[in-house]
Chain A
């Protein structure tokens, strides 16, 4: 019984991290109207940013998380300015093909660059909070607790940003109509950069939070990517709340699946496949996703 509870708690933490990643994908989709195939690699880089902030810059673990978020945001804005501006150009045709191919190319470049710069061997940054909590029969390591709590804080901050601040509402406006937003004085270029930057920051933050729990490796983004798509499609492309809920559900389901899968040698390998299978089934049954919507919604 404790085993199930421990796994359920772990699943919740994973779910929060997944939710963070998925919200980034959905945000980028709503604002730039593309699926970001490099999102998993931004998540991976966030983890490495925090690691090197710790080891090279000597920043304390909590600070390293902030550094990672800031660095990911900056990287996102730079990439958007360099690569994605044709998406706003009237003369660019087949924009979703462009978005697909260019982010796919970006993913390849980033992943292999990571292997070269950071090396292929797993790394592990110091957790913000070491040790473990004991609640009766339940033992949860503090790094997970911190990751989960910080993840929740980030999600709540994002929701407040989107709903309660003028910039967040402007982002929503741009997601619904660039032209209409421009007419009322919202600068779409600025907000596209902001949108991609925030999406990248969320991914990077997720990577930084989970890095102490699992280790860092250059290919950790590949599966995170696929999980993100599963979640976003399940929760509805464009729906922030949908991504959060679906993220929690998938994280929980995946962890419990691995925990209770009869054959332990296959369990880990197929736990990765679990999300993929869910995705395939969803897309077969409903090719537009469960709650397909084009623009950002906050309900």
Chain B
């Protein structure tokens, strides 16, 4: 007897895989970008919603991953997957370093620090244009040499699935409990034997490595990379996606990313208004539905058991452990 969510996810996965051949170029492109944002939102949710580390430098790590991979491939001629792997390693190390530096910083200070870091990186990438081609854009080696984006579509999907599987594994394990304990009350967590230092650093390293991987994929998919990948507006978009979907639930965050990205494309003609809209929706959700719009829905899916009698008796929302 499983929760309905399992079947929903499986159906969705089958649908995504089967549609590959039938999608036109534009829709496929949007889907790939949505999967990129899904990885970013999911990993940010892990970092902030679970471990309580509200880093505003998450997109900076995507940017770092992208440039690392692109430049490494360009300079040393290694195959793109090797470049991407290097990006993952570098962002994991960088994330761990930032986690260590930020150990004693409180919430807002950590946000300020990572925001500052993000801006410094963006300014640096922009200014050192001999190396990075700055705002003109760095041309990257494509991951696949194919006429259609189909291989990118399947790769993005595979990466997303693998990432979510890993993140889900972490969240359901004792690590997930430790992260949440740290967010709830760091002092009590320490008193309960949780090695706060180790887990904060780990959370940062893991989340940043997912961002780095996503960024590296993005770089070799889009074909041209600018420092705007690490801009505050895009960070804000990821924050909006995660909050609107559900800060404390990775599946909800993924849903939020897909939803907001779709909305972004549907409203393409409204250009700048879209960001205003997302900002306002973010404000409204924070003000009135702080857990997110999709999290309750996901929770319902989990609770409905299929293949037997539905669970009767005392069931109070949010009394069960979070998925």
Contacts and interface: CB of A to CB of B under 8 A. Distances in A.
In their complex, do chains A and B touch, with some C-beta pair under 8 Å? yes
B276 A113 contact: yes
Contacts of B280: 109
Contacts of A270: 123, 127
B123 A269 contact: yes
B123 A112 contact: no
A233 B275 CA distance: 30
Contact of B127 (A99, A112, A269, A280): A269
22 contacts: A37-B111, A96-B107, A97-B54, A100-B107, A101-B239, A102-B286, A102-B287, A105-B239, A105-B243, A105-B282, A105-B283, A108-B278, A108-B282, A110-B279, A112-B275, A116-B272, A226-B115, A276-B117, A279-B116, A280-B116, A284-B101, A288-B109
Contact of A279 (B54, B104, B106, B113): B113
Given A113-B276, A269-B123, A100 B108 contact: yes
B232 interface: yes
Interface in A52-109: 82-83, 86, 96-102, 104-109
A99 B287 contact: no
B272 A96 contact: no
Nearest to B285: A105
Nearest to A275: B116
Contacts of A230: 116
Contacts of A266: 127
A100 B116 contact: no
A283 B109 contact: yes
Given A97-B52, A105-B240, A289-B109, 5 more contacts: A35-B108, A101-B243, A102-B286, A102-B287, A229-B116
A287 B104 contact: yes
Contacts of A222: 119, 232
A234 to B, nearest CB: 12
A27 interface: no
Contact of A83 (B52, B103, B113, B283): B283
B236 interface: yes
Interface string B36-56: 000000000000000010101
A34 interface: yes
A270 B108 CA distance: 24
A4 interface: no
Interface string B225-257: 000000011001001100100000000000000
Nearest to B283: A105
A36 B278 CA distance: 19
B105 A108 contact: no
Interface of A: 34-35, 37, 82-83, 86, 96-102, 104-113, 115-116, 222-223, 226, 229-230, 233, 266, 269-270, 272-273, 276-277, 279-280, 283-284, 287-289
B117 A280 contact: yes
B165 interface: no
B116 A226 contact: yes
B319 to A, nearest CB: 16
Contacts of A110: 279
Contacts of B286: 98, 101-102, 105
B107 A229 contact: no
Given A96-B107, A273-B123, A108 B112 contact: no
A35 B123 contact: no
A285 to B, nearest CB: 10
A250 B270 CA distance: 40
B77 interface: no
B139 interface: no
A284 B100 CA distance: 10
Contacts of A229: 112, 116
A82 B115 CA distance: 26
Interface in B120-168: 120, 123-124, 126-127
Nearest to A99: B108
B236 A104 contact: yes
Contacts of A284: 101
A233 to B, nearest CB: 7
Of A98, A270, A287, the most chain B CB neighbours within 10 A belong to A287
B7 interface: no
Most buried by A among B56, B126, B280, B283: B283
Contacts of B119: 222-223, 226, 272-273, 276
A41 to B, nearest CB: 11
Contacts of A104: 56, 111, 236, 239
B128 to A, nearest CB: 9
B29 interface: no
Contacts of B283: 83, 102, 105-106, 109
A288 B108 CA distance: 11
Given A106-B279, A112-B276, A273-B124, A96 B108 contact: yes
Contacts of A279: 112-113, 116
Given A115-B272, A233-B112, A269-B127, A108 B104 contact: no
Contacts of A277: 120
A160 B112 CA distance: 30
B239 A233 contact: no
A270 B286 CA distance: 35
B290 interface: yes
Contact of B116 (A101, A113, A276): A276
Contacts of A37: 111
A279 B119 CA distance: 12
